[in-house]
Amino acid sequence: MKVLMKGNEAISEAAIQAGCTAFFGYPITPQNEIPEYMSAKMEKAGGVFIQAESEVGAINMVYGAAAAGVRTMTTSSSPGIALKQEGISYLCGANLPCVIANVARCGPGLGGILPGQSDYFQATRGGGNGDYYTPVYAPATVQEAWDMVFESFDIADKYRTPVQILLDGMLGQMMEPVEMKVHPRLNIDKPWATNGNADKRPRNTITSLSLFGEVLEAMNLQRFKVYEEIEKNETAVENTVKEGDTVAIVAYGAPSRIVRNAIDELRAEGINAALIRPITLWPYPYDTFQDLPKSVKHILVAELSMGQMVEDVRLGVNGKYPVHFYGRTGGVVFEPGEIANKVREIMGKPAKPLASGQKQMTDSNLKGGI
């Protein structure tokens, strides 16, 4: 039986079902339902919930719990995730598994509480100091958010890395039916954990510090070998482009749903547009852009930012197609008609009036993003 749930609630319950026993959070809109849910349910599930004194406190509690070998999570929204970057860098440096969900809002700074996708660079390019990546999952439906939580905990344990789930306020706040399927979890030994051993084994130390150049370099090289494995095994994309399609629109997360409406509208008037939806943002599905059907002439990137993912699409496209961009920021969400109009412009067709009364962005508005 399906249950109607908010994205935030789905992430919370899925985490408990996936065996997360330590949640540390701090309030911020639009992710407040997660700590609220955890405060009500985590203790009953036999786990620990702490409302930390700050985001920095929460991420360092995650560090401690992960070091002790338990499944642990923190969540926040954009400015709060910015505060956690030091901790995320340390978690990566210490090879500690955990899950971090970012229910993103618009920025920069405190920005606003409405949806945004302008944390793409922060999520996919490290974000803190040092050489590191974290796998980044981008759900587009509440069901997918539910399922990805299970996958994220498994991936975190399997590769000993923090995993980020990047959604936006829209998906966090919206409700959809969820099949609350409890996926079997990866059970993996954590012989490295600092969980007390009564002197039965050599002492484990968890640290990101190493003062010897060659030792630290060897650790970094090893970490990048793991990244290579993650890139090889875990890259995920939904590619709906078929022979005969002329425009591929690249979008991720909840905004990709709006693009689907635009695609329906365009196809009804004979413009063959189709969606490429990256499911993992790191590792990024670069190869997809080298294997597109011959009929494809244009790529359009649509995101709620000034064009951050455009960089990855360009890397994938590698000069093969012209890459166009359409975006809104500040919490303004593009309507399907805006995306459709951008494609019409690319195809040399006249624009149509927008149903919502929103103003169409022009290339000169978005200059710098493309």
Partner 1 sequence: MTRMVFSGFGGQGVLVLGEIVATIAMHKGKEVTWMPSYGPEMRGGTANCSVIVADTAIGSPIVQSDIDILCAMNGASVDKFLPRVKPGGLVLVNSTIVTQKVDRDDVEVLEINATDIAGQVGNLRVANMVMLAGFLKKTDLFTLDDITTVLKQRFAGARSQDLIPLNIRAIEIGMGE
Alpha-carbon span 14 to 7, nearest angstrom: 10
Give the range of 70-78, 128-136, 203-211, 255-263 binding partner 1 by CB under 8 A.
Answer: 255-263
Minimal distance, residue 77 CB to partner 1, in Å: 12
Cβ 7 vs Cβ 147: under 8 Å: no
Q: Which residue has the tokens 């979890």?
A: 185
Q: Give yes or no for residue 360 binding partner 1 (CB under 8 A).
A: no
Q: Give me the least distance between CB of 297 and partner 1, in Å please.
A: 24
Does 217 help bind partner 1 (rule: CB under 8 A)? no
Binding to partner 1 (CB under 8 A) within 310-339 occurs at 333, 335-336
For 216, counting Cβ atoms within 10 Å of its Cβ (0-12 exposed, 13-18 middle, 19+ buried), the class is: middle
Which neighbouring-strand residues pair with 163?
99
Please report whether residue 170 would count as binding partner 1 according to CB under 8 A: yes
**Residue 115 vs 369, nearer CB to partner 1:** 115
According to DSSP, residue 293 is labeled -
The 10 Å CB-count burial string (b at 16+, else e) for 27-60 is ebebbbbbbbbbeebbeebebbbbebeebbbbbb
Is 240 among the residues that bind partner 1 (CB under 8 A)?
no
Count interface residues toward partner 1 (CB under 8 A). Answer: 25
Look at residue 204 and give its three-state secondary structure.
coil
Among candidates 337, 340, 326, which has minimal Cα distance to 369? 326
Nearer to partner 1, 39 or 358 (CB): 358
- To partner 1, the closest distance from the beta carbon of 58 in angstroms equals 23
Q: For residue 91, what is the enclosing H or E element?
A: helix 85-93
Residue 264 or 287 having the CB closest to partner 1: 264
**Of the residues 85, 210, 261, 360, which one makes contact with partner 1 according to CB under 8 A:** 261
Shortest separation between residue 329's beta carbon and partner 1, angstroms: 16
Output 22 or 103, the one with its CB closest to partner 1: 103
Q: Which residues, 6 to 35, sit near partner 1 by CB under 8 A?
A: 29-30
User: From CA 127, how far away is CA 99, in angstroms rounded?
Assistant: 16
85-124 mask for partner 1 (x: CB under 8 A)? ----------------------------xx----------
Residue 100 parent element (H or E): strand 98-104
With binding defined as CB under 8 A, does residue 169 bind partner 1? yes
Please, what is the minimum distance in Å from the beta carbon of residue 336 to partner 1? 6
Name the residue nearer to partner 1 (CB basis): 114 or 241.
114
Distance (Å, whole) CA 238 – CA 171: 18
Q: Is the peptide bond before 353 cis (omega within 30 degrees of 0)?
A: no
Q: Does 235 bind partner 1 (CB under 8 A)?
A: no
Lay out the site mask for partner 1 across 335-354 (x = CB under 8 A, - = otherwise).
xx------------------
What is the torsion angle, in degrees rounded to the nearest 10, for the CA atoms of residue 328, residue 330, residue 335 and residue 341? -30
4/315 with CB nearer partner 1: 4
146: closest CA among 15, 283, 39?
15
Q: Do 295 and 246 meet the contact criterion of CB atoms below 8 Å apart?
A: yes
We find the least distance from the C-beta atom of residue 267 to partner 1, in angstroms, to be 13
Nearest CA to 158 out of 89, 76, 71, 59 is that of: 71
Q: Say whether residue 356 binds partner 1 (CB under 8 A).
A: yes
> What is the contact surface with partner 1 in residues (CB under 8 A)?
2, 4, 29-30, 113-114, 169-170, 173-177, 254, 257-261, 264, 333, 335-336, 355-356
